[in-house]
A and B are shown apart, each in its own frame.
Chain A
Amino acid sequence: MAVKVIERKPLSWAERTYLPQILSGLRITFRNMFKPKVTVEYPEERPPIPAGYRGVPTLVRDPEGREKCVSCQLCEFVCPPKAIRITPGEIPEDSPYANVEKAPKEFEIDMLRCIYCGLCQEVCPEEAIFLQNTYSVTGTSRAEFVYNKAKLYEIGGTLPDKHFKWEKKRRAAEHGNAH
């Protein structure tokens, strides 16, 4: 890389008085006063959330309303701060989704422990847990920050995918072709 030596000119008399520089500075700040403001006035105005933002982890249902989680507990194992606690449960025999076999009886995420790394979402084989856009988690006690299953489904909503993996599996099994 070629080195370019820039000659430093000695300051002129006007520059040494510092006043012309102050005047040009004043001109700049005066113009700045009329430029559009950059402030986001928070509670009324929300910042745009970029795609792939990692907010609060939530549980989702499929379009039929079935809870997608099968309580395999992979997220619980992968979670670095151990924020997730799953109590596995069985799906009763008379349920239309009996072939899924398992669903969480209780699913708790401690939002104070969660580091919003997204590993749970990455590891989930059922696409049942997603980090969503909610970034403002508030509460007045530690207990309030432990989100239980109902709350997680409530803020999670429905994932509009059309795989219906378990439905296909059930039909395949009925036709004697389990795989």
Chain B
Amino acid sequence: MDVVDILIRFGLGLLVISLVMGVCMYSVLAERKVSSWIQGRVGPNRTRVPLIGSIPIIGNMLTRLGIFQPLADGGKFLFKEDVIPAHVHKMYYVLAPIIAFVPALVTVSVVPFGQYVDAATGVVKTIILANVDVGILLVFAIASLGVYSIILAGWASNSKYPFLGGIRATAQMISYELAMTLSIVPVFMWVNAPGTPGTLSLVRVVEAQNDWWFVLSQPASAVIFLIALFAETNRLPFDMPESETDLVSGYHTEYSSFKFGFFFVGEYANMTVGACVTALVFFGGWHPLPWVTWTDVAGWTGLAWFNTGIIGALLAVSIFVLKAFFFLFFFIWVRWTVPRFRYDQVMRIGWRGLLPFAIANLVLYAILIAVWERYVV
């Protein structure tokens, strides 16, 4: 690997990170807009940037949609006074937002965005930063580091509410990680059929959904995964770490300005990656429809560009991004629909509801897949 190669990878990494950051900023806007639409309000519609905002019709439209709002929000986070209270443990206090932020962005590196056939060589190429074979495991491993940031923030803040928020968050995330991991095992049991080289790669999962999407063949797994994902990303109805109603704002009560922004963006980055993983594992990734892939479309129509070259890549990526955006919307939609659970209810759902259900689901699919392999194939 020479210097140029490293530089290219570095540049691509930066590009993807900035894209994810952009998505995070705009999902904050989406959160505000969707919540206000659901509640019969109009949401942020005043922020205007000088040049683009004064284009006759488009400028007004963008302003009404609040497109410039994230810039104002980001600017606010940058320029507000950064208060470090006197009673905190400084090192961990500063470390916590960084730990919240970094893993959330690292997980993006193993998320594939699409596949296309290279026009020159005819080789199937994947648009991904790091096509590692442990894909989903890496996502789970790195994402679960995020809980340390919440514990650290809660502990280092040295104050009641963050402490309680930190403790609740820890309990919640550990409880739901079990169900989440177990729910995804049947999928990989199916992907790793006997005789194939074993893999945990997210690319292979999508390739295995050429016909049946896993949400259709394993709906129970998908439901458990989604519910656990809500808990893992600290989204309502599982907002134990924040608990705005009873803990002020939980683990980041003592944080202000840019450090708070880190937590904020980290949370939305987790959400984005969660939406991507859901789309990849259960909803066919970049396949446009169940039982239909871009290769099929190209075959039926006889137009090679459906899966080849730049247009093929763009089609695949846009379908994938569309799905990911739908799940981001779904997260927001659920948040403004369902009231939050009490702490004991969260624990009960996790340990007495989801975990046994996930285990039963795992055993059922283990038997089903064994029977399938033995008698059908």
Contacts and interface: CB of A to CB of B under 8 A. Distances in A.
Do chains A and B interact in one complex?
A: yes
Interface of A: 19, 22, 25-26, 28-30, 32-33, 35-39, 41
Given A22-B334, A32-B39, A39-B42, 7 more contacts: A22-B337, A25-B337, A26-B334, A36-B40, A37-B37, A38-B40, A39-B41
Nearest to B223: A19
B215 to A, nearest CB: 15
A39 B64 CA distance: 14
21 contacts: A22-B337, A25-B337, A25-B338, A26-B333, A29-B38, A29-B333, A29-B336, A30-B333, A32-B37, A32-B39, A32-B40, A33-B34, A35-B40, A37-B41, A37-B42, A38-B40, A39-B40, A39-B41, A39-B42, A41-B42, A41-B45
B34 to A, nearest CB: 7
Interface in B308-361: 333-334, 336-338
A118 B223 CA distance: 62
Contacts of A19: 223
Given A19-B223, A33-B34, A38 B337 contact: no
A26 B337 contact: yes
A92 B159 CA distance: 75
A33 B338 contact: no
- Most A Cβ at <10 Å: residue of B34, B38, B45, B223: B38
A32 B41 contact: no
- Most A Cβ at <10 Å: residue of B38, B333, B337: B337
Contacts of B333: 26, 29-30
A142 B38 CA distance: 42
Interface of B: 34, 37-42, 45, 223, 333-334, 336-338
Contacts of A28: 337
Contacts of B40: 32, 35-39
A33 B37 contact: yes
A22 B337 CA distance: 8
Contacts of A41: 42, 45
A83 to B, nearest CB: 35
A30 B39 CA distance: 10
Contacts of A32: 37-40
Contacts, number: 35
Nearest to A41: B42
Contacts of B39: 32
B331 to A, nearest CB: 12
A32 B333 CA distance: 11
A28 B39 CA distance: 11
Nearest to B336: A29
**What 6 pairs across the A-B complex have the smallest Cβ distances?**
A33-B37, A29-B337, A25-B337, A38-B40, A29-B38, A39-B42
Contacts of B34: 33
A29 to B, nearest CB: 4
Given A22-B338, A25-B337, A26-B337, A33 B38 contact: yes
Nearest to B46: A41
B237 to A, nearest CB: 9
A41 B44 CA distance: 11
Contacts of B37: 32-33, 37
A40 to B, nearest CB: 10
A28 B333 CA distance: 11
Nearest to A28: B337
Nearest to A40: B42
- Most A Cβ at <10 Å: residue of B40, B41, B45, B334: B40
A63 to B, nearest CB: 44
A36 B40 CA distance: 7
A90 to B, nearest CB: 54
Contacts of A30: 333
A26 B334 CA distance: 7
B16 to A, nearest CB: 31
Contacts of B41: 37-39
Nearest to B40: A38
A36 B37 CA distance: 9
Contacts of A36: 40
Nearest to A30: B333
A33 B35 CA distance: 9
A41 B333 CA distance: 24
- Most B Cβ at <10 Å: residue of A29, A30, A32: A29
Nearest to A16: B353
Nearest to A21: B338
A22 B338 CA distance: 7
A85 to B, nearest CB: 41
